[in-house]
Amino acid sequence: MTSGRLARIKTIMLWTDLGFLAYWAATVLGVVSVGTDPILRQWNWSFLGLDLAAIGIGLGSLLLARRRPASGERLMLVALTATAAAGVMALNFYLVRCEFDPAWWIPNGWLVLFPAVAVTAMLVSTPPSATR
């Protein structure tokens, strides 16, 4: 992978993780809410562990990549996968409920699409000998 492409992925990943973290901070402070439906509120909070793991692994992978690039990039793949899983789970929930509010579909779509593109770019450009 070219260093420019990887640098763009890292930058986008950083902003995505910071945005993800901002969402949870806003939720904790009551600035953002999924409404008053207790099932919807419980569903939203059920993502906290997965989301914080994705954020922590993502930010940690970016720090690790500064000192140990190969290890950092492998950890980035884990974080991107966890981020995509969170987005897919949220979109599936909205699909099952037949709710198509762009305010939820757009950010969760991003959490699926960005990692899918980034992981694909990272894996396609990795020479076979580098994966051993």
Position 129 scores a pLDDT of 53
Position 45 scores a pLDDT of 97
Identity of the residue numbered 28: V
- Parts of the chain with a pLDDT under 50: none
CB neighbour class for 38 (10 Å; exposed up to 12, middle 13-18, buried from 19): exposed
CA nearest to 83, candidates 18, 8, 7: 18
Query: DSSP string of 62-86?
Result: HHHHHH-HHHHHHHHHHHHHHHHHH
Using CA atoms, how far apart are residues 112 and 130, in angstroms rounded to an integer? 26
SS3 6: helix
Position 102 scores a pLDDT of 96
Position 3 scores a pLDDT of 87
Block residue for tokens 């402070």: 29
Position 125 scores a pLDDT of 78
Helix (H) or strand (E) segment spanning residue 39: helix 38-45
The answer to whether the CB of 87 falls within 8 A of the CB of 110 is yes
The pTM assigned to this predicted structure is 0.90
Position 123 scores a pLDDT of 94
Indicate the domain borders of the chain: 3-125
